[in-house]
Chains A and B, each alone.
Chain A
């Protein structure tokens, strides 16, 4: 982006420039640095790297109900790469990602632009209304939608019966991904909208004024100023969505109660890892599956970043 260069150099100058030098300031700053970082590093090591390392360690063993624990090297990984349940689970969340994320982000973008345009009445109420579902715990949301989707006593089914139409079977095999996507979209549109809206609020108003002076209309401003300004925020929401989609768990886990014949224990990769660990007592294999899933997420996230960056430079 063109504006990136001056902004960066401005920041750089500010950092390096002479800012009222104080005696001993440099030394104090040097010793203070690690101290400030220490709390984060301690937690990062303890809660992030240590469990990760332990999971990696676990994934190299196999513990059996009969016969105890044995080192098996990469056997678990070989098994996982050929495991149809894992492959289907990853494939399903990938499909979910492709279907759900564009819809959610486009909606979030549309809402953010509409709110930022200042043309909406009651914009604060609307903003809050769109955001409220995010405040509803996803467990509650899934239970609520599970009821709404109900084929006998759910309101949609009852309404369509009143109208003499065939009731849509939201919980059937064919509809399930759409039904899940709907729940997740409902939950997270508000969250993504807030991120995009906040990004829009940081655009200096001078830019809008200058554009208006040059005769740009609302659409033109949206396309040429707002959208480019939103690019980092959009990328952020996209990355969050990659991670969220591939780790899909709560919603299918809860809808499993109402549609056990459609949502199996390996419906998503995360659900599969959970089932392996806590139903099948295959902790080591579950660690392997988790690790591979993490790897998939890293690869997809990286691919997203790479495509976005390439588009930016071209």
Chain B
């Protein structure tokens, strides 16, 4: 249900463990699967496909393969198959997040075995457009869907030349879940700014040394990127197909680094890795008074910290500038079509239907508890009006729906996100955990990424 790029799913662990368990020779075997030429079929024309062609394709019997890790997605797929009985969809769970991308990349390189449609997280889209693996959905009518989606989600799925690389499915605008009871006990107001947040962190930890205001996980690059996003940072800017500006240690980043580095050094916040047993126990036992998370967090938390039911509330993230509330996004995903598909029309229609058909889109919110990407659902009283007992009857969806409209629309991801995330953990994350100089670690992160990007053939600029 929740998505993050260092996801703790068991599938993730098993595959990584399995793949390289037997070491060098196994790696050689694995690599031998990665031969074959690249799929570089070249420039797409944005010529729209006629309605007659679409009708014909949807009536021609065909079978499409769809890779997704969404549980019980058969229900939504059934809606599609009811409308287009000629098109059969084969749903395959190829792993959650990174493991799936690894398999996808291998299949794309091998030139066979890739699906027609694929679930892909916002942050991973550039990783697959740089290899020219996704189909531009404009010719299939995707441009007309723009206004149905929350602004920032559409800019996330759009290419630099206006391509539409995917259709948004769910989102994760970031907010703050907090323990009302702990706040009350220590007389802490809900912090509206980061300054107030820092003051509250010091006050709370002083009053009760066993409690921390929050935990900034030293392994969670996704959360850090969400916070960068909120602060209006532009860590990665692609221009053209081979030029990238990497500025993960610019002034905004340094401000963030100083802020969190100081709190970590003072020991008034936790820095332990998230989604571990210890972290779950910490949330259950009241070690942390807030969780800076995304819109998928509320449902996730109500399942993993049952013993604290009724004590939590939701609020927007603290702000750098209280007059201009903003937020970032963490998680959520999209449906994309693989360029090499033999049935581009049917695949594109499927990707659009799945996420825009009112019944299908609503089902994601009610069955999978996804946080929606469509404006219609975010204004739907039956969704935003839900009162959640875990949050003391608060209308949590409404809180996050409001946050969603403050998410910055210009944030970009690099085409080598996995590397950026790994390097973050080993530099910035490590500095937080070790209570060393975080601003200096930002510099190391910057230089590691720059070196990497150059090795990969990019022309690298720094701001």
Are A65 and B429 in contact, CB atoms less than 8 angstroms apart? no
Least Cβ distance of A84 to chain B in Å? 12
- Main DSSP-derived SS at the A contact region: helix
Q: A65-B415, A260-B425, A280-B419 are in contact. Are A286 and B27 (CB under 8 A)?
A: yes
* Minimum C-beta distance from B126 to chain A (A): 11
Q: Which of A11-19, A196-204, A250-258 contacts B (4 or more CB under 8 A)?
A: A250-258
**CB-CB contacts below 8 Å: A147-163 with B:** 147, 150-154
Q: Assess whether B34 is in contact with A283, with CB atoms less than 8 Å apart.
A: yes
User: A54, B28: Cβ atoms under 8 Å?
Assistant: yes
Known A52-B28, A274-B16; judge A258-B456 contact (CB<8 A).
Answer: no
A281 touches B456 (CB 8 A): yes
Choose among B21, B31, B241, B429 the residue that contacts A277 (Cβ–Cβ < 8 A).
Answer: B31
- Given contacts A261-B430, A270-B24, A277-B31, whether A66 and B278 have CB atoms under 8 Å apart is no
Q: A65-B416, A287-B28 are in contact. Are A254 and B281 (CB under 8 A)?
A: no
Closest to B277 in A: A147
Does A309 reach chain B (CB closer than 8 Å)?
no
Q: Which residues of B contact A286 (CB under 8 A)?
A: 27, 31
Q: Does B458 lie within 8 Å of A65, measured CB to CB?
A: yes
Q: Which residue of B lies closest to A256 (CB)?
A: B219
Give the contacting residue for B457; candidates A64, A259, A287; CB below 8 A.
A64
Q: Which of B31, B34, B102, B426 contacts A264 (CB 8 A)?
A: B426
Docked Cα-Cα span, A147 to B23, in Å, equals 25
Q: Does A287 contact B456, Cβ atoms closer than 8 Å?
A: no
With CB as the reference atom, state the residue of chain A lying closest to B220.
A260
Total A-B contacts with CB atoms under 8 angstroms apart? 154
Q: Indicate whether B17 reaches chain A with its CB closer than 8 angstroms.
A: yes
Chain A CB within 8 A of B86 CB:
no
CA distance A52 to B24 in the complex (A): 9
Is B242 positioned at the interface, with any CB of A under 8 Å from its CB? yes
Tell me if B455 counts as interface (CB < 8 A to partner A).
Answer: yes
Knowing A65-B130, A249-B20, A279-B422 are in contact, say whether A152-B458 is a contact too (CB < 8 A): no
| CA distance in complex: A260, B27 (Å) | 23
Chain A interface size, under 10 / 10 to 19 / 20 to 34 / 35 or more:
35 or more
Interface segment out of the listed A96-104, A182-190, A214-222, A290-298: A290-298
* Closest-CB distance, B102 to chain A (whole angstroms): 5
Question: Does chain B have a CB within 8 A of A67?
Answer: yes
Report B100-141 CB contacts with A as 1/0, cut-off 8 Å. Answer: 001001000000000000000000000000110000000000
B38 contacts partner chain A, Cβ-Cβ < 8 Å? yes
With A and B bound together, what is the CA distance between A67 and B19 in angstroms?
A: 28
Cross-chain contact of A247 among B22, B31, B433, B455 (Cβ < 8 A): B22
Inter-chain CA distance A254–B105, complex, in Å, is 23
Is there a chain A Cβ closer than 8 Å to B160's Cβ?
A: no
Q: A47 contacts B20, CB within 8 Å?
A: no
Tell whether B8 is near chain A: CB-to-CB under 8 Å: yes
A278 CB within 8 Å of chain B: yes
Q: How far is the CB of B119 from chain A (nearest CB, A)?
A: 19
Residues from chain A with Cβ under 8 Å of B32 in the complex: 50-51, 54-55
Give the docked Cα–Cα distance between A139 and B10 (Å): 10
Q: B14: CB under 8 A from chain A? A: yes
Please tell me if the beta carbons of B278 and A153 are within 8 angstroms of each other in the complex: yes
Q: Does B236 contact A (CB under 8 A)?
A: no
Least CB separation from B219: chain A residue: A260
Q: Does A260 lie within 8 Å of B457, measured CB to CB? A: no
Within the complex, what minimum Cβ distance (angstroms) separates B230 from chain A?
A: 23
With A and B bound together, what is the CA distance between A64 and B13 in angstroms? 27
**Residues of A close to B278: CB separation below 8 A:** 150-154, 258
Distance A95 CA – B455 CA, assembled complex (angstroms): 31
**B405-431 Cβ-contact flags toward A at 8 Å (1 or 0):** 000000000011011001001100110
Q: B43 CB to closest chain A CB, in angstroms? A: 17
Instruction: Choose among A51, A152, A270, A290 the residue that contacts B282 (Cβ–Cβ < 8 A).
Output: A152
Contact indicator A55/B28 (Cβ below 8 Å): yes
Q: Are B456 and A294 in contact (CB under 8 A)?
A: no
Q: What chain B residues lie within 8 Å of A282 (beta carbons)?
A: 455-456
Does A301 make an interface contact (CB < 8 A)? no
Picked from A58, A264, A293, the residue with its CB within 8 Å of the CB of B24 is: A293
Does A265 have its Cβ within 8 Å of any Cβ on chain B?
Answer: yes
Residues of B within 8 A of A275 (CB): 422
Q: Does A290 lie within 8 Å of B21, measured CB to CB?
A: no
16 further A-B pairs in the complex, CB-CB below 8 A; given A146-B276, A281-B416: A52-B28, A66-B130, A66-B242, A66-B456, A67-B242, A68-B38, A247-B23, A250-B17, A253-B16, A253-B17, A261-B425, A270-B24, A271-B20, A278-B418, A280-B422, A287-B31
Chosen A-B contacts, 8 in total, with CB atoms closer than 8 Å, are: A66-B456, A139-B17, A150-B277, A249-B23, A253-B20, A260-B218, A278-B19, A294-B25
